[in-house]
Amino acid sequence: MATMDELFGLNVFNDSVMRQRLPKETYRALHKTIDDGRRLDPQVASVVANAMKDWALEHGATHYTHWFQPLNSVTAEKHDAFISPVPGGRVVQEFSGKELVRGEADASSLPSGGLRSTFEARGYTTWDPTSYAFIKDRVLCIPTAYCSYSGEALDQKTPLLRSMEALNRQAVRVLHLFGRLDATRVTPTVGPEQEYFLVDKDLYNRRSDLIFAGRTLFGAKAPKGQELGDHFFGTIQTRVQAFMADLNEELWKLGVLAKTEHNETAPAQHEMAPIYSIVNVACDHNQLTMEMMKKIARRHNLVCLLAEKPFEGVNGSGKHNNWSMFTNTGYNLLEPGDSPHESAQFLLFLTSVIKAVDDYQDLLRASVASAGNDHRLGGCEAPPAIISIFLGDELTEILQALEHGARYSGREKADMTIGVHMLPKFPKDTTDRNRTSPFAFTGNKFEFRSLGSSASISDANVVLNTIVAESLRQFADELEKAEDFRSCLHDLIVREIRAHKRIIFNGNNYADAWREEADQRGLVCLETTVDALPVYTAEKNVRLFETHQVLSAAELRSRRDIGLDAYAKTINIEAETMIMMASRQILPAVLRYTGTLASSVNSVRAAGADLSCGGTLLADLTREADMLSDAIHHLDECLKKRPSAEDRPEEDARYMRDSVLPRMAELRAHADALEKITDKTYWPFPTYDELLFSVE
């Protein structure tokens, strides 16, 4: 077996490879681009491209691709062979600087939300040199951003890179006020914990809902779910263990810092957490992780389900987005620190996040909105749709003491004055952690827990970076003008805590009482995707994104519309799948069974005995079967009446939510009731007990 040294980053054109293979000058110039965001000189690009090609060929690659992330949560790639013809009917393998830096993709079938008309379908891909190129399936993949002909963002990476710049600009201003002149760059870091389900592939292949929707649309609860809590952190099943080992190896080769693996709460549910990295790399790596999970599962005759709610009645899957900010000098800005000076700085950055989350609750909610995630948020298994912050008792008390100019009752018995006193040490709790909060401070980072398991982490981090940049911009504007920095800082922090403390909630976010209280506090509650996505174009939010040059009004509109359109399409696919399964599988199976049962009852009666339970069952079956048939009809009619909603995605999405979803629920209820009374041998596809408990 290969050692970790041989394995890790084997397929990555990483810094040590670059240092080895690039002339010193080129290496230095490239680093200027990577570290300081400088434009890349074409000459340098040519040298890099050539070295990259040689390396890729030595590693068995035949093609290259600009690997990008369109607005549909997956990645896109179009392969080009390195070949170019030379006289004599032969070819040489080439790769130019131009080809490395910029690509052209006729991508008319990718979502653009009206930003690009089909006749002007060209899109351009541009290399993101801060994320290393890598080889996957003999293809050299170059992480790229993807824009329209006129430069509008059509992908996840472009706004993410812009939001990183915005945060960097404002955070550096603030750091300089604290005299940290050595800090010239601030970068957001993210460690995304990925949850997923594994099911047996043979069972999967027999369920159209899993194949078409990635989640079950029918299924009565199994006798056992997650109530015993025996799956969470339980011994990992042998087949799953083999899958995990394989996955780790592939991820390590790709330079992904796969670190923690364990069984999750629901049966058949698991999690993988990498070590954090800078956010655009974390985002690329999370996309790769999802892709590899799916691919490697199949090698083990398993299928990986990334949908947010694959099974009713047990927990769904999310992604915890651990987020912080680091300086180029290696300093975590959300780490409380060991001196009064550091404490003050920490408190200011902490306050900037509190203010940001309160001012832009709506955007954070919108950033995690999807048809799949709607089934999870608010289901008492994931944070509710209401955004709030968990700070923990200790830190909350400190903020209260500051706000009231009172003594903090902890160990430090002095008045807490910002810039003079140190923060008392508070524990980085791990045990009594509040798992119900959507946005929790966990000692030296925030954990945003509302993300769906199948989504790109980009949207959430674009919002996070930008809203914190906005708080910091306001703070820097004020503090830069201050005559007495320390007293201005103190007043600012106290004022902002007072203004935004309503967003802090340390209690149980699943409780009904919290809904009422949140309402009284004036917090925003955007229950569904249809409520949430339109806030992208609210005036205050457009102003925010335009101020920081992250997204323009047109780009925001396109994102909102793409999201709403995806919502409607997802529900439509699910509804069509339900109709197909119910009318061509469930109803026929039930009728077959009913027929057999009727014959049995008849022959028993003919033999002179009575079979009253048979009669009762027949009555139940026929009644439910009729209702099932009606429900199929209702859903079908409802889909037929769907108003043509060209250019009105919001109306379309609302129709799907208000008219179609209830019909789907009606149909499912009858099907699930029938499943419980139908002879198992007649049931046309594998049931929950098999799907959730068959992998050993």
Q: Where do contacts with ligand ADP occur on this chain (CB under 6 A)?
A: 189-191, 193, 260, 273-276, 322-324, 332, 430, 442, 444-445
Nearest residue (CB) to ligand ADP, 274 versus 419? 274
> Minimum Å distance from CB 429 to ligand ADP?
9
CA gap 501, 397 in Å, rounded: 12
CA gap 383, 365 in Å, rounded: 11
Nearest residue (CB) to ligand ADP, 158 versus 461? 461
CA gap 178, 172 in Å, rounded: 10
Compute CA distances 181 → 166, 175, 176, 184, 324, whole Å.
18, 7, 5, 7, 20
Nearest residue (CB) to ligand ADP, 276 versus 475? 276
Nearest residue (CB) to ligand ADP, 258 versus 518? 258
CA gap 334, 187 in Å, rounded: 12
- 462 CB-near residues (< 8 Å, 6+ apart): 159, 160, 163, 367, 550, 551
> Minimum Å distance from CB 190 to ligand ADP?
5
Adjacent-strand bridge partners of 124: 104, 147
> Minimum Å distance from CB 428 to ligand ADP?
8
Nearest residue (CB) to ligand ADP, 117 versus 260? 260
Nearest residue (CB) to ligand ADP, 341 versus 435? 435
- CA dihedral sign of residues 177, 182, 186, 192: negative
* Backbone φ, ψ for residue 258 (5° rounding): -60, 125
CA gap 610, 595 in Å, rounded: 18
Nearest residue (CB) to ligand ADP, 325 versus 578? 325
> Minimum Å distance from CB 469 to ligand ADP?
17
Pick from 508, 480, 462: nearest CA to 356: 462
CA gap 424, 416 in Å, rounded: 10
Compute CA distances 395 → 130, 333, 616, 632, 662, whole Å.
35, 16, 62, 54, 44
Report the greatest alpha carbon distance in the chain.
104
Select the residue whose beta carbon is closest to ligand ADP and give its number.
191
Adjacent-strand bridge partners of 258: 274
Compute CA distances 83 → 58, 64, 88, 91, whole Å.
15, 10, 14, 6
**Length of the chain (residues):** 696
CA gap 675, 235 in Å, rounded: 31
> Minimum Å distance from CB 218 to ligand ADP?
35
> Minimum Å distance from CB 694 to ligand ADP?
30
> Minimum Å distance from CB 331 to ligand ADP?
11
Nearest residue (CB) to ligand ADP, 271 versus 531? 271
> Minimum Å distance from CB 193 to ligand ADP?
6
Pick from 319, 209, 301: nearest CA to 688: 209
> Minimum Å distance from CB 432 to ligand ADP?
13
Specify the 3-state DSSP secondary structure of 418.
Answer: strand
Spatial contact of 134 and 11, defined as CB atoms under 8 Å apart: yes
> Minimum Å distance from CB 109 to ligand ADP?
35
> Minimum Å distance from CB 259 to ligand ADP?
7
Element (H, E) at 612: helix 612-640
What is the token pair recorded at 142? 């170059």
> Minimum Å distance from CB 36 to ligand ADP?
22
Burial of 393 (0-12, 13-18, 19+ CB in 10 A): exposed
Q: What does the H/E/C string look like for 220-246?
A: CCCCCCCCCCCCCCCCCCHHHHHHHHH
> Minimum Å distance from CB 346 to ligand ADP?
13
Nearest residue (CB) to ligand ADP, 395 versus 621? 395
Spatial contact of 577 and 550, defined as CB atoms under 8 Å apart: no
> Minimum Å distance from CB 189 to ligand ADP?
4
Q: What is the dihedral of CA 96, 97, 101, 102, to 10 degrees?
A: -50
What is the token pair recorded at 403? 């706000």
Q: Phi/psi class of residue 429: alpha, beta or left (left: φ > 0; alpha: ψ in -120 to 50)?
A: beta
CA gap 36, 564 in Å, rounded: 37
> Minimum Å distance from CB 335 to ligand ADP?
8
Q: Give residue 347's identity as a one-letter amino acid code.
A: L
Spatial contact of 500 and 522, defined as CB atoms under 8 Å apart: no
> Minimum Å distance from CB 342 to ligand ADP?
15
Nearest residue (CB) to ligand ADP, 211 versus 275? 275
Q: What is the DSSP letter of 658?
A: I
Nearest residue (CB) to ligand ADP, 278 versus 401? 278
